[in-house]
Chain A
Amino acid sequence: MNPAEHMESVYLGVVLAPLAGSIVAGLFGRVIGRAGAHWVTILAVGISTVLSLIAWKHIVWDGNDPYNGTVYTWLAAGDLNLQVGFLIDRLSVTMMVTVSFVSWMIHIYTIGYMHDDPGYQRFFSYISLFTFAMLMLVMANNFVQLFFGWEGVGLLSYLLIGFWFKRESAIFASLKAFLVNRVGDFGFVIGIAAVLMYFHSLDYDTVFGLAPTMADVKIQVLAGTDWSLMSFICICLFIGAMGKSAQFPLHVWLPDSMEGPTPISALIHAATMVTAGIFMVARMSPLFELSDTALSMILVIGAITAFFMGLIGLVQNDIKRVVAYSTLSQLGYMAVALGASAYAAAIFHLVTHAFFKALLFLAAGSVIIALHHEQDMRKMGGLYRYMPITWATALVGSLALIGFPGTAGFYSKDAIIEAVHTSHLWGSGFAYAAVLSCVVITALYTFRLFFLTFHGKERMDRHTWEHLQESPAVVTVPLTVLAIPSLIAGMFLVGPMLFEGYFREAIYVAPAHDVLGEMGAHYHGVFGFTLHAFQSAPVVYLAFAGVALAWLMYIKYPQVPGQVAERFSLLYRILLNKYGMDDFNQAVFAGGTRRIGQAFWQLGDVRVIDGVLVDGTAAAVRWFSGVVRTVQSGYLYDYAFAMIIGLLLMLALFVHQLF
């Protein structure tokens, strides 16, 4: 076999291994037992991780050309061939490694977290299948397969949020997640339809190649309106990303998704699936670069998400919800980076965030197990004494999240803030202000969580307190393994990924938008970058200020938060009600559609069509037959007979008129 064919089987193996693992665990779960289910899926995703690393080495390390090939023809309609195929370039291998590695760690962690759950095998089957769908998404070489993966991860997210199907709150949250995502998909499908119409193809290669020739095309979606084709396509596609990556105002499903088991909050709702929208926009950079309008929209939406969702994180008491709001806020950061055309920075933050956010979720999960499924931070405190590994790894995660100098999050977040600062697009000023002020908020809610959980007074009940202990190795090992990249990945990746052309042809940036290139001119190594942060920008100091504030409020003067809440009770209540968006959606959208449905049904179908037309006709026939006594029997054959007479009459009419 020549090397190219060899790599084809590697790529196939990456996706097929988790699929096979999932099928075995799902269909034969009872036969192979609990241990069998976790072994087979862990082995499968392990294979996937190793093969992804081989692919990464092949493409990035050895510098081979990207692979773009077809696996099979899904469907051919007219001249259109829709295929299942892979595009393996520097962007997709980066995603493949991140997705499979984080997924692998979470598979292992799940053994500990779910060990007494009756749906053990089902859970492993689902998360393996999720890994398959996510890999199909990132490895796609065309829009249809992208959409297949896109909806596949949506399905698994739905199934996993509602995993504990007896809980009303869980099954409500899962339905909500699916439907809100479908609202985004609405835009996504329209975007795909527009791409097909004007590019006559859904293959990335063809579409990206033709894109520059389409830059000035205007279309009339509604008669009399002139819209730029590229803006229309990009905005539609981004609406899809807003659903999947939980951007304002389609973010409402993500906090509720915390009803699912913690491993999936880490895997799906922090590290991988929710970043699919970010990945998609980066993948489509040759399209998005042609529309300043779409980029500005992304900047503004991202900034709103980053800032306002961060604020809600300040008032949450459920440990997982705080992390969830922080995820929303960080996704906002990534979107802002996309909007500023710093795609590389967005993907960089996506990667580092995958590590440290998965770590934080798993650490939260470790705490939750130790406290017998207690998630309220008001009933925690002082845990550092009992759970040293969890404490240490959570500290690493928290520092990375707030962007403490040297940690992975520092480099990626600082790069985003700097990139927005450099950008000249409309909305970049607002976005800069938002992401900058959000640094304080991030530090504040992160260390509020950290202090309330691990330090201060021990507020759990006596029974729980007596049983406090560090989690088992299947939990702490993944924590430790994830802590390492959270700490050091940034310093190794920052140079190559942002400034040294790591992504090459996988990401296209128009010269006018090249903020990273501009920043790269001043880049003189990791050390210089770190030092620069101290010297010129306020970012680092803002983060320190946030931590200090958290320490004052939650350790030194723990009575202060209550006083603040009382003093600013209106603001506090607005935040606690999440700006009233859930209530609004519930009343207007959920309630409204039901009322419309009821009206259509009762008025349209029952009253008008059946009441007036159908039964009215029947009544008219009765009246008529009352007059013409002879055909009044009501038997079916009489009606049929009448019809046949009518038929002959009509035939006569027909023939005479038309001859």
Chain B
Amino acid sequence: MSFDIPFLSLLVWAPILGGVWVLYAGDRQAGTVRHLSLTISVIVFALSVLAWLRFDTNTAAMQFVEFVPWIEAFRINYHLGIDGISLPLIVLTTFTTVLVVLAAWDSVESRIAQYMAAFLILEGFMNGVFAALDAILFYFFWEAMLIPMFLIIGVWGGPRRVYATIKFFLFTFLGSVFMLVALLYLYSQAGSFYILHLHDLPLSLTAQKLIFISFLLAFSVKVPMWPVHTWLPDAHVEAPTGGSVILAAIMLKMGGYGFLRFSLPITPDASLAFADLMIGLSLVAIVYIGFVALVQHDMKKLIAYSSVSHMGFVTLGFFMAFFVQQETGAIMGMEGGLMQMISHGFVSGALFLCVGVLYDRIHSREIKDYGGVVNTMPQFAALMMLFAMSNSGLPGTSGFVGEFLVILGSFQARPWIAFLAATILVLGAAYTLWMYKRVIFGDVANENVAELQDLTAREQLFLGLLAVAVLAFGLWPAPLFDVMHASIQNLYEHMLQSKVIP
């Protein structure tokens, strides 16, 4: 097969160059900037869909591979390629960026060009993370991604944005530094930064354990796993709507992606050794954070905690696979975890956009400042009901699929894991619907609510697109599983092979 278009380079560099162009156009031409940003993001999204259509679902091999030597002295290459694990995440990234551009249309008042540019550049870096096959290239994108996000929160954020950005930066940067050490060590052993080579590199158990912990520090902060999750609520609360959406929908997935691409295949024996710990931390996230979410009075904090709790299913799904006797159950858990990543992208993004819609009107995120919104915004209430239900894991919506598979799979690992994980059925519904009840239902609570205007055409568009996604992947998730299946199968086989040097 030969591919005439360098899809992946385009997916990485088109938004970055587009972002620079937008920056150059400047704030004075706000109208042009908006249309330009939208056009760029739609084209990039279309490219990713085209890549999906031309993607061969029968193989676990990397596709659309591009290879150019970069720093030959250290054998660092510009090496891109995607498989069934990265493709869905890239499509999710490009789709979410379109929504973020739409959401920022006229709700961002200051420095619109820089705002749009930051998101477009961020999109390129994020695609780079998912497409990189060279560890250093990966690390480059991984760290580069922090800069636009740092600016987005720091410039367009809320009153405590300085505290939030520093906390965000230090948590994530501190984590990823350890990853770099591990990568350099791996290079010293393998003589290559090619990730697939690292997958086959034999390592002693001690080395594996140290590498696993280094990776864990980087990835667990991103997921985020308990107890390194506390930067997330702060970052979300201070971030502008678009920042929250990208943070929740894409950046949290970097951690899960890291486990799939690095920890599990490079250090399978250490992953097995630490699986108990990982499952334990995942369950703490699901249950403990579920309780914490229940008592939040800030909507964004509530959704942020809900994200931590839902992301617990991702790590649970990956690591419980070690304890399942039957292959089907293990694959189910891992695919469920990946599905949960995609679905959480839609659902948490949608919920943050919903909060943004309300915030644009009343400038409050406090639940108590609302009540009876359905009376003045019935369309909004209907759409938010769908997203709330998906967050509660209702069958027929995307939120159900991953959770269900992970619960079914983890029962096969150990029944008590499933008991604890299944508490999300009650807790998830409780915190989501209780918030919904207090914000949306009831009589009109105050004058602000009485004066609310229902969704504009633009808001209908981006929430409507998400509603379609949530329903489509809930009613027919099969196509997504077709894409990921070969790659997950391959990964699972890697996980089972011991790499320990005798």
Contacts and interface: CB of A to CB of B under 8 A. Distances in A.
A601 B478 CA distance: 38
Contacts of A473: none
Interface in A631-654: 636, 639-640, 643-644, 646-647, 650-651, 654
Interface stretch (B10-18, B132-140, B393-401): B393-401
A151 B411 contact: no
Interface residues of B, number: 77
A12 interface: no
A74 B294 contact: no
Contacts of B489: 78
Contacts of B332: 77-78, 80
A197 interface: yes
Contact of A646 (B177, B295, B329, B434): B177
A151 to B, nearest CB: 5
Contacts of A77: 328, 331-332, 335-336, 405, 481, 485
Nearest to B167: A614
Question: Which of B166, B174, B230 neighbours the largest number of chain A CB atoms within 10 Å of its CB?
Answer: B230
Interface stretch (B37-45, B47-55, B350-358, B425-433): B425-433
A658 B437 CA distance: 57
A600 to B, nearest CB: 5
A613 B489 CA distance: 39
Contacts of B422: 186, 189-190
A75 B411 contact: no
Question: Which of B396, B404, B411 neighbours the largest number of chain A CB atoms within 10 Å of its CB?
Answer: B411
Given A76-B482, A186-B423, A186-B426, A598 B295 contact: yes
B227 A189 contact: no
A222 interface: yes
Contacts of A609: 227, 230
A192 interface: yes
Interface string B333-360: 0011000000000000000000000000
Contacts of B185: 651, 654-655, 658
B327 interface: yes
Contacts of A162: 441
A74 B177 contact: no
Contact of B288 (A190, A194, A604): A604
B170 A73 contact: no
B372 interface: yes
B382 to A, nearest CB: 9
B461 interface: no
A526 interface: no
Nearest to A650: B181
B188 interface: yes
A79 B328 contact: yes
Contacts of A650: 178, 181
Interface in B237-272: none
B84 to A, nearest CB: 13
Contact of A600 (B169, B170, B288, B442): B288
Contacts of B178: 650
Given A179-B430, A604-B288, A76 B295 contact: no
Contacts of B408: 192-193, 196-197
A75 B478 contact: yes
B217 to A, nearest CB: 11
A178 B429 contact: yes
A175 interface: yes
A191 to B, nearest CB: 10
Interface string A612-631: 01100000000000000000
Contacts of B26: none
Contacts of A564: none
Nearest to B429: A182
A72 to B, nearest CB: 7
A165 interface: yes
A614 B174 CA distance: 12
A179 B429 contact: yes
A259 interface: no
A610 interface: yes
Interface stretch (B70-78, B111-119, B275-283, B413-421): B413-421
Contact of A658 (B207, B294, B327, B443): B207
Interface string A583-605: 00000000001101110110011
Contact of B434 (A72, A175, A636, A644): A175
Contacts of A644: 177
Contacts of A43: none
A147 interface: yes
A643 B434 CA distance: 43
Contacts of A598: 295
A647 B335 CA distance: 35
B158 interface: no
B292 A600 contact: yes
A152 interface: yes
A221 B415 contact: yes
Nearest to B480: A75
Question: Which of A152, A178, A182, A639 neighbours the largest number of chain B CB atoms within 10 Å of its CB?
Answer: A182
A200 interface: yes
A159 B292 CA distance: 26
Interface in B23-80: none
B407 interface: yes
A552 to B, nearest CB: 45
A151 B429 CA distance: 12
A239 to B, nearest CB: 11
Interface in A156-206: 158-159, 162, 165-166, 168, 171, 175, 178-179, 182-183, 185-186, 189-190, 192-194, 196-197, 200
B136 to A, nearest CB: 14
Contact of A197 (B329, B425, B426, B481): B329
Contact of A651 (B173, B181, B395): B181
Contacts of A80: 328, 332
Given A593-B430, A647-B181, A166 B443 contact: yes
Given A76-B482, A644-B177, A650-B178, 17 more contacts: A72-B478, A75-B401, A75-B478, A76-B481, A77-B332, A165-B372, A165-B374, A179-B426, A182-B425, A186-B425, A193-B412, A222-B416, A643-B177, A647-B177, A654-B181, A654-B185, A658-B207
20 contacts: A76-B478, A76-B481, A77-B405, A166-B441, A168-B442, A178-B433, A186-B422, A192-B408, A194-B411, A194-B415, A221-B416, A593-B427, A597-B291, A600-B291, A604-B288, A604-B292, A636-B169, A643-B177, A644-B177, A647-B181
Closest 6 CB pairs of A and B: A78-B331, A193-B411, A78-B328, A597-B295, A597-B291, A597-B294
